[in-house]
Amino acid sequence: MWLNFAYAAALTAVSPLVLHRMIRHGRYRRGIGQKLLGLSSEQAAQIRGDAERTIWLHAVSVGEVNLLPELVRRLEKHHPEIALAVSSSTDTGYDLACKHFGDERVFFCPLDFSWAVRRTLKNLRCEQLVLAELELWPNLIRCAQDANCSVRVINGRLSQTSAARYQQFAKVLRPTFERLDAVGCQDALAAERFIDCGVAPENVTVTGSLKFDNAPRSRDTTEVNERINWSGIDPWHRVWCFGSTQAGEEAMALRVYQSLRSKHPELRLILVPRHVERFEEVASLIQSQGLSAVRRSSNDSQYADQWESEEVILIDTIGELRHWWGVGQIATVGGSFGDRGGQNMLEPAGYGCAVSFGPNTKNFDTIAKQLIAADAAVRVADEAELKQFVSRCLTDIPAADSLGQSARDLVNKHRGAYQKTLEMLIPEQVGSRQQAA
C-alpha cells in the first residue's frame, strides 16, 4: 500500500513537468485511462477472444518491442490456444507494437499502482507475465504473484551499475527479485547479477541474447530494396548510416561528413534520430550546415533523382531503422557518445556493415565486447577517431568488408536464443513435443 502513496507523491511532484510535455509535445496523454486505471474488461475480452489461457508480454519501448515478433510467431505456431496480449509504456513502442501485432491486442502498460495492475491481471486472466529484458515494478510483480500469474523475464540483462544500485536498496527491491519465477539471461554475467539481487539460482538460466536471433540475415529483402530504391542510390555510392542518435551526435556526424565528402564524392549520409520530438531540430541542424535534409516522412521518393552529396537523408519516422541499416555499408550506432549507453549494434552487424560505436555502450556491454574481440566492430573514442574510421572504410574497402563479414559471422554463431526462451516459457509443452518428434 505504501508504494501507492509513494507513486502518487512522485506523480504529484512531477505533474507540472508532465503537464508541460503534454501541452508542448503531446507526450503521456495517450492511453491515460489504461495507464492510471488498467485494462478494462471489454478491452481484455477483445484480446482474449475464445482462448482459455493468456500470456501478457510487456516491452517498455521500441527496442524491446522489436524482440517480440519472432517469439510471438513461434508461440502462435506451437500454441494457438493461448491468447497473447502485448503492452508497452511509450507512444513509439505502442505504435510499433500495433504495427507488428495489430491494435486489437496491444495496450499501454498500467502505471505501478496496485489497483491498475490488479484490474489488468484480473481482466486478462493471464497465467504468465513476460517482461522483456527487465521492468522492475514492485506492485506489478507482487500483484501478478498474488493472482497466481507467473512472472518471467526474457532476454534478461543487468548492468554492473544497475545491479549495484538495486543492491543498495535491497530491503525494498530484493523481495521483488525473489518473486521472479524464471529469468532467461543474455549471458552468464547477467545471470550472476540476477542471483546476487535475489532471484533463486534454480530460476535463472542463460538463454543467450534474442538480439542475435533477431538480427537481420540478408540485405536482399523487400524492405531494404524499397529503401534503396527510395533513396536514389547509385552503385558507386558508399552509404554511412548513423542510427539511433541523441543530441550532439548528429552535429558530430555532419562535421565528419562535411570534412570527407569533397575528397570522397561517393560518400552519402543517413541520420536516424532516436526520439520523435527531435526530428525538427535535426532537420534544422542539417540545413544550418548548408546541406539539404531529405525527409523520409515528406518526400515520396528519391528514385527519379540522383542522391547528391549535398543531401542528407533524415529518417523522421518510427520503426524503420532496422531496414535502413541494410542500405548502408558503414554504420555508427548512436547513443554511445553521450550518457545513454548505446543501442543495439547487432542489427547493422547482421547485414555485414562495417560497424562502429562510441565509448559508452554500458547497455550492450557484453555484445560490444564480443564484437570487438572478434574484430567485428570498432569502438571510437571521439569525433577524430570516428572520422578516421569512416575515412578508412572509404579508402580500404576490403578491410571494411572484412570487418562486416566478421560481424555477420559472429551474429550467425550466436543464434538460437528464441528456442531456449520458448522452452523457458512453456517447458512442459516444448519438452513433450520434442519427445513426440
* pTM metric for this prediction: 0.82
Residues 267 and 394: beta-carbon distance below 8 Å: yes
End-to-end CA, the chain: 49
pLDDT single digits (tens) 404-437: 999 999 999 999 999 999 999 987 543 333 333 3
Q: In 3D, which of 209, 214, 207, 243 has the Cα closest to residue 331?
A: 243
Q: Per the structure block, which three cell numbers stand in for 116?
A: 491498475
Nearest to 299 by CA among 250, 222, 231, 221: 231
| CATH class assigned to 222-413 | alpha beta
CB 318 within 8 A of CB 338: no
Q: Is the pLDDT of residue 15 over 90?
A: no
pLDDT in tens, 29-75: 789 999 999 999 999 999 999 998 999 999 999 989 999 999 999 99
Q: Give me the architecture of the 31-208+416-436 domain, per CATH.
A: 3-Layer(aba) Sandwich (3.40)
For the chain, residues classed under CATH 3.40.50.2000 are 222-413
Q: Order of strands, edge to edge, in the sheet holding 330-333? A: 292-295, 311-314, 267-273, 238-245, 330-333, 354-357, 378-379
